[in-house]
Amino acid sequence: MIIKEIRIKNFRSYYGDNNSFEFTDGLSIIVGDNGDGKTTLFEAIQWLLNTTADKSSVELISEMRKSQMEVGDEDSVSVSMVFDHYGEKSVEKTFTFTKTESGLSLGKVQYIGYESDGIQRVNVNGKTLIERSYDTFIQRYSMFKGESELNVFDNTTSLKELVDKFSDIRKFDDLVDATGLFEEKSQKAYDKELSSDQKVAKQAKILSSRITALCNEISQIKSDIRDKVKALELYDKKLGDLEQNQEASERYQDIKKRLKNLEEQRNKLVATMQSVDYNHSLLDRMWILCGFMPILQEFKKKSSAFSKEKRKLEKEFDRERAKELGKLEAYNEMRGALENGATELPWYLPNQETMEEMINDHICKVCGRIAEEGSDAYQFMVHKLEEYKRHIEAKAQAESAKQDLENQYLFKTSFIESIHSLSMQLSGSREAEIAEIPTAIKDRQELVATLSLKKKELDTKIQDVSDEKARLLIAQNASEQELDADFSDIKGLFEQKERAITRKESLERDLKEKETLYDDLKAEQDALRPENSQAVVLRDVHKVLELIYKAFIQAKKDNLSRFLSDLEEKANEYLAKLSAEDFHGEIRLMQTAQDSTEIKLFSSNGSPITRPSGSQRTVMYISVLFAISDFTSEKREEDYPLIFDAATSSFGDSKEKDFYNIINKLHKQCIIVTKDFLDRGVLRMDEIDLLTCRVYRIKKAGNFDAKNVATVRTLIEKIK
């Protein structure tokens, strides 16, 4: 099948009915930049060929076309293809759309096919035509979007499908089944006959049941071995992946360690910075007193003033009191001076008793003179006695006055003293402490400022290391967990793998023993000499059928490996061609336990190339695809095109040109949509000139509004 032309109408960015590509039976390149409509072209072809997508969708309609429609306007979306497949044929997939008041009304998807019957074009069912000419199976091996889809064997069933389609092995399946059935039936018939044979029935029965049991055991062991092999493949694959990551993993560990170190330093800094809470310190460290000095001074002044005032008042008061007391003393002293100036006897001499006795006796017993009643002397004595009595009284009075005076205080309490004492306490060292608070705060703030500078430096370093980590992760296309897990898994996986190997070996030994035993039992069974001639015949028939059965199984195996080796050989031919002068290694298609295959690249000295570059991988997969395509043409006697969307994005500039020219010489229809040969949106014409194939350029029409999708349309230009 060769695609000759593709027309696209109102499909997404392909506006209007004037979009067509004509293809040769060799290579056609369609060059476009990002957003120019490359993938849309690819998807338009996919849509056309996908006979299961039968629903019309507004999303497929050109935005530009939609925006221009008036109510009542009708138009259609269609993708059509003209192709050669046992004669020229064409197919179109289309649906109509009409603008209504409420939006767009969509018509049904229709497939319209035409083929030539040698004389004229006849209308045929388009869907059937597609399914007949380009079935989904072929689509799977012919249309690829991006580099990641190129490995068709990623899917475990692919090999089987491929083998079924393209090789004769499938015929063997029926033969194997049929001969297996014969073998089984003949065995049963033979067993039945044996059991009724009088001579060997008993022995045959024992043998038969032993053989059955043994068969079960053997099949169990075989399935166990298969499991182990599967597991080993898995371990190998994982370990391979891990080893690829090992270097990265080690670097990752190193980065992680550095990061942890830096983060610890940073946390310490932050802890130191936060160890002093500014709010709490206002109270706990009494920083709130930073402005207190003037108030403290006020307080000290005031309390000292009160104290002074109080003392002054107290002193004055004391002085007054002393004065009063002095007065009293002086008064006492002033009394008792006699007329001639001589000092009187003390007032208490003679005393009251003596004087009363003298008055009573009318005689002065001091001088011995008589003192008659009414005489001067008598009067003197009476007067003296009265004075004495008065004196006693006055003395008592004076004593009490003095006592009173002495007991008088101006202040009754000492609140001022206690306040003054507080003021004393708050002076000296405590005052110095308060005076230091602003400095303490400043010091702290400076320390924090220094620390936060350091923190900033650390933050930058942490950012750098984090960036390094991110770059590593991006470069490895791995997640942190993966790299972390890799590090710890690699050891565990090795151990698991070792265990699996040991177990597999012991199972294989076991299997060998059982198989030997089986052969022995079989031989014993064969050696039975039944009396019944019918049994003898059946035994021989079974023997023959068993041999045939085994032969077919072996043939099937051989065929598969022959198919793979043919495919491998072809793929390697293409690999060599496509790689031109470059190193390319050798493709090997390795059979896996799940009956699938893995595509691997080996060096010719036998060592695997575990990390092929992106372009090596792409060339490897494309070689396999070409080989498969060759098989199609050989086995099905038909060709089909290979369509790639951006499959070569990992190629370097120098590789592109050679690669395309080689493909063009392969006589295989290939349509490649790519952004190679573009230099900032401009075609590198010098390189295009060197190409021998057809080249189209697709690009957005100018004057589009960067924000409005309805202004975008793809223009097609045929370059050569």
Partner 1 sequence: MESLYELWGKRNPEWEVRYQDSIINVLSDYSKGTTSYTDVRGKIFGAGYEVFILAFFIGLYYNQTKPLNPDKSKRKHFGWAISNWGIQESRLGRKSYPLLREYMFAALIARTDVDLIALDKGDIKPSKVVDQLITKMEEYANFGFDFISEKLEDDPNFFFKDSAFLRIFLNFIPVDEGHETDESDSDDEPESLD
List residues binding partner 1 (CB under 8 A). Answer: 277-296, 298-299, 301-303, 306, 309-310, 313, 410-416, 418-419, 422-423, 425-426, 430, 434-435, 438, 441
Instruction: Give the count of beta carbons closer than 10 Å to the beta carbon of residue 652.
Output: 11
Shortest reach from residue 653's CB to partner 1, in Å? 57
Residue 264 CB, nearest distance to partner 1 (Å)? Answer: 21
CB of 279 to partner 1, least distance (A): 5
Question: What's 363's DSSP letter?
Answer: B
Q: For the CB of residue 266, give the shortest distance to partner 1 in the complex, in Å.
A: 18
**Cβ of residue 281: shortest distance to partner 1, in angstroms?**
7
Radius of gyration of the chain from its Cα atoms, rounded to whole angstroms: 61
Question: Does residue 643 contact residue 45 with C-beta atoms inside 8 Å?
Answer: yes
- Name the minimum Å distance from CB 302 to partner 1: 5
State how far the Cα of 214 lies from the Cα of 222, in Å rounded to an integer. 12
> Which distant-in-sequence residues (6+ apart) come within 8 Å of 139 by Cβ?
46, 49
In angstroms, give the least distance from the CB of 466 to partner 1. 26
One-letter amino acid of 90:
S
Rounded least distance, CB 299 to partner 1, Å? 4
**Residue whose C-alpha is closest to residue 574's, from 634, 639, 623, 632:** 623
CA 539 from centroid of its chain's CA atoms: 68
Q: Which is nearer to partner 1, 178 or 422 (CB)?
A: 422
Identify which of residues 238 and 310 has a Cβ nearer to partner 1 in the complex.
Answer: 310
Shortest reach from residue 439's CB to partner 1, in Å? 9
Residue corresponding to tokens 């303490």: 440
Contacts of 158-163 with CB under 8 Å at 24 or more apart are 158/596, 159/595, 159/596, 159/597, 160/595, 160/596, 161/137, 162/628, 163/560, 163/563
Closest distance between partner 1 and the C-beta of residue 416, in Å? 5
Give dist(CA 643, CA 641) in Å, integer. Answer: 6
Closer residue to partner 1 (CB): 290 or 485? 290
DSSP E strand stretches across 146-217: none
Nearer to partner 1 among residue 298 and residue 393 (C-beta): 298
For partner 1, the closer CB: 428 or 606: 428
Give 288 or 337: the residue with its C-beta nearer to partner 1: 288
- Choice between 287 and 696, CB closer to partner 1: 287
| DSSP states along 2-59 | EEEEEEEESBTTB-SS-EEEE--SSEEEEE--TTSSHHHHHHHHHHHH-TT-----GG
Nearer to partner 1, 104 or 410 (CB): 410
The smaller minimum CB distance to partner 1, of residues 282 and 398, is found at: 282
3-state secondary structure of 398: helix
C-beta of 182 vs 292, nearer to partner 1:
292
For partner 1, the closer of residues 223 and 425 by Cβ is 425
Contact 697, 31 (CB under 8 A): yes
User: Using an 8 Å Cβ cutoff, are 587 and 600 in contact?
Assistant: yes
Using DSSP's 3-state secondary structure scheme, residue 610 falls into coil
Strand bridging mode 670-674 / 642-645: parallel
- What does each C-alpha distance from 50 to 45, 127, 140, 281, 683 come to in angstroms? 9, 9, 11, 75, 33
126: Cβ contacts below 8 Å, ≥ 6 apart:
91, 92, 93, 110, 111, 112, 113
CB neighbour burial string for 5-20, b if at least 16 within 10 angstroms, e if fewer: ebbbbbbbbbbeeebe
Which of 292/518 has CB closer to partner 1? 292
> Residue 553 belongs to what H/E stretch?
helix 533-579
Q: Between residues 107 and 438, which has the closer beta carbon with respect to partner 1? A: 438
User: Which is closer to partner 1, CB of 142 or CB of 303?
Assistant: 303
Q: What is the smallest separation between the CB atom of 270 and partner 1, expressed in angstroms? A: 12
Residues in CB range of 523: below 8 A, 6 or more apart: none
Q: Judging by beta carbons within 10 Å of its beta carbon (0-12, 13-18, 19+), is residue 530 exposed, middle or buried?
A: buried
Buried b (16+ CB within 10 A) or exposed e, 384-416: bbeebeebeebeeeeeeeeeebeeeeeeeeeeb
Closest distance to partner 1 from the beta carbon of 288 (Å)? 5
Residue 59 CB partners (closer than 8 Å, separation 6+): 12
Give the residue with the Cβ less far from partner 1, 395 or 442: 442
Question: Least distance to partner 1 from the beta carbon of 707, Å?
Answer: 39
In whole angstroms, the minimum distance from the beta carbon of 386 to partner 1 comes to 44
- Within 13 Å of residue 223, how many CA atoms lie on the same side as its CB? 5
Kindly tell me which of 279 and 360 has the beta carbon lying closer to partner 1: 279
Do 697 and 717 form a contact (C-beta atoms < 8 A)? yes
Nearer to partner 1, 123 or 429 (CB): 429
Smallest gap from residue 10 Cβ to partner 1 (A):
57
Residue 515, class by beta-carbon neighbours within 10 Å (0-12 exposed, 13-18 middle, 19+ buried)? middle
Task: Give min distance, CB of 318 to partner 1, in A.
Answer: 15
Cβ 408 to partner 1, closest distance in Å?
13
Angle at alpha carbon of residue 102, lines to 99 and 105, rounded to 5°: 45
Provide DSSP, 648-694: TTT--HHHHHHHHHHHHTT---EEEEE-TTEETTEE-HHHHHH--SE
